[in-house]
Amino acid sequence: MHKYEKIWMTLGSASLAIFLAILGISSVHAGHTPAASGIETINPDFVESDSRFGNPGLYESDSGDYDYDLYFTASAFMYEPREVEIPKGSRVRIQAATKDVIHGFSVAGTNVNMMVEPGLVSTYTANFNKTGEFLIICNEYCGVGHADMISMIKVVDVVE
């Protein structure tokens, strides 16, 4: 083998070994958990006993940042509530939690799209400025009944 071939083979093999070592160390270092800042946790065994998720739905917000808080629970092939009406022009903080497996939460026709993971409260803020019906679907395969996992948001005109 030529001298230059040996040099390139050595460099290539060393680069591959370093890459694999970095990949291996990073995959086990500190586990696969999200960043701690701003993430709210919840015990998956007690989702239903949490005041927000025990009776999910739309509630007027105590905060001046949002008009409404909308709480959803995702569980084996269903969302609760199954349907919710939101006044047009509302700024809504959506919070979702699950007690079983990872679910997706996507509101068709909007930019609302989040993962709902056991142990975490997923939060998204959205403005609903257009009337209509918006289908909520699970976009993360969660089992055999996954295709039936839907809910509906109805944005309605405000009657004064």
> CA 102: distance to chain centroid?
8
Residues 90-146 pLDDT 10s: 999 999 999 999 999 999 999 999 999 999 999 999 999 999 999 999 999 988 888
Look at residue 32 and tell me whether its pLDDT is greater than 80. no
Q: Binning pLDDT at 50, 70 and 90, where does residue 24 land?
A: confident
What CATH number does the domain containing 76 carry? 2.60.40.420
Q: Does 63 lie in the same domain as 9? A: no
Q: Does 123 lie in the same domain as 45? A: yes
Q: Does 59 lie in the same domain as 19? A: no
Look at residue 19 and tell me whether its pLDDT is greater than 90. yes
Q: Does 50 lie in the same domain as 120? A: yes
Q: Does 79 lie in the same domain as 47? A: yes
Q: Does 44 lie in the same domain as 28? A: no
Distance of alpha carbon 62 from alpha carbon 130, whole angstroms: 24
CA distances from 147 to 79, 103, 138 (A): 12, 12, 8
Residues 35-93 pLDDT 10s: 555 678 899 989 989 999 999 999 998 878 889 999 999 988 899 999 999 999 999 99
Look at residue 28 and tell me whether its pLDDT is greater than 80. no
Q: Does 144 lie in the same domain as 106? A: yes
Q: Does 26 lie in the same domain as 67? A: no
Q: How many domains does one find in the chain? A: 2
Q: Which domain holds residue 10?
A: 1-32
Q: Does 19 lie in the same domain as 67? A: no
What is the reported pTM? 0.74
